[in-house]
Amino acid sequence: MSHRIVVALGGNALGKNLEEQYLAVRETAEAIVDLIAAGNQVILAHGNGPQVGMIQKAMAELTRSDPEMYIPCPLSVCVAMSQGYIGYDLQNALREALFTRRIPKPVSTVLTQVEVDPADPAFLHPTKPIGAFMTKAEAEQLIVQRGYEVIEDAGRGYRRVVASPMPRAIIELETVRTLMEAGQVVIACGGGGIPVFRKDGYILKDAAAVIDKDFAAELLAESLEADLLIILTAVEKVAIRYRQPGETWLTELTPEEAEAYAKAGEFAPGSMLPKVEAAIRFARSAPGRTALITQLQKASAGIHGETGTRIAQRL
Ligand code: ADP
Ligand code: MG
């Protein structure tokens, strides 16, 4: 049976620096092409943590070295750069892997903006530290000059924090859909997408925020009416009592069971919790939709029910 699958790639699918990424995308591409070769329609979303960190650091150095010439680079621009950089490596690795297996499919990367709600409660409590550590003086300057919110991070220095609002709509959805329907392999929603507010209906204004890539991938899957959301990460399955006595790996869960474990604090916020929450949301969005959380190398086995953790309504 063939599926329409949105695959969310985690940090380990992309590596942490230029060299690692160049190598990691090769293995990632093989796993993705396995899914395509089996007859599935695949759309890719991905994270960007280390990449956007690298870009922000480079841009901050530039401002520091020549403040007359370079104003601080907005987060939205850094995310856009990361989508381009990751898309470039991933797209080419996929292209090569497809060509090698004689699958004539073009690959494209869509620069993706994702609408967020200015009334999202996340904006009242920014939680996501981004960018480099700063001194107190540097932090105070940015608070005054640019209205940044800054936290003191456990004695290690000061860091900017931004909100992590929920994604509401994918601005370039119809572009992604058109490419997908034309048989292309599409990479979209990189780094959760560039968060934007909608002004006067059609004007977009960048939001100082980051969207969780797991939630953006879920929205993409729902919006494209995918039947499978696969979240690929560093673990083969989700566990309860993770890394504690009595650790138990989960295979099959209903959204209600997953929610009960989430409420009980079984999944770490910022890592496994958003994946499980995204999986619950997708499984509930329509009957017959399944979310699978597993490791990159296990994606194909996971589709056949051989491994991974699947969340789906019991029919
Ligand atoms: P990604 O880059 O794929 O989003 P994250 O580091 O954000 O990866 O999240 C995956 C990590 O979540 C796993 O590598 C694992 O260490 C951690 N984790 C936290 N809680 C759990 C749990 N209950 N079961 C499995 N993994 C968990
Ligand atoms: Mg993560």
| DSSP result, the chain | ---EEEEEE-GGGT-SSHHHHHHHHHHHHHHHHHHHHTT-EEEEEE--HHHHHHHHHHHHHHHHH-TTT-PPPPHHHHHHHHHHHHHHHHHHHHHHHHHHTT----EEE---EEE--TT-GGGGS--EEEEEEE-HHHHHHHHHHH--EEEE-TTS-EEEEEB-PPP-EETTHHHHHHHHHTT-EEE--GGG-EEEEEETTTEEEE-SB---HHHHHHHHHHHTT-SEEEEEESSSSEEESTTSTT-EEE-EE-HHHHHHHHHTT-S-TTTHHHHHHHHHHHHHHSTT-EEEEEEGGGHHHHHTTSSSEEEE---
Residue 153 scores a pLDDT above 80? no
Ligand 1 contact via 261 beta carbon (within 6 Å): no
pLDDT 10s digits, 166-180: 999 999 999 999 999
Q: Do 188 and 217 form a contact (C-beta atoms < 8 A)?
A: no
Token duo for residue 310: 């699947």
Mutate to test the pocket of ligand 1, among 51, 210, 272 (most ligand atoms within 8 A of CB): 272
Q: What's the chain's average pLDDT?
A: 95
Ligand 1 contact via 268 beta carbon (within 6 Å): yes
CA of 272 to the centre of ligand 2 (A): 7
pLDDT for residue 24:
97
Burial level of 52, CB count in 10 A (0-12/13-18/19+)?
buried
Residue 154 scores a pLDDT above 80? no
Q: Is the dihedral of CA 13, 164, 43, 56 positive or negative?
A: negative
Ligand 1 contact via 258 beta carbon (within 6 Å): no
Q: Do 150 and 156 form a contact (C-beta atoms < 8 A)?
A: no
Q: Average pLDDT, stretch 30-46?
A: 98
* Percentage of residues of the chain with pLDDT beyond 70: 100
Mutate to test the pocket of ligand 1, among 233, 237, 244 (most ligand atoms within 8 A of CB): 233
CA of 111 to the centre of ligand 1 (A): 27
CA angle 76, 82, 85 (to 5 degrees): 145
CA of 100 to the centre of ligand 2 (A): 31
Instruction: Report residue 4's pLDDT band, with 50, 70 and 90 as the boundaries.
Output: very high
pTM of this prediction?
Answer: 0.96
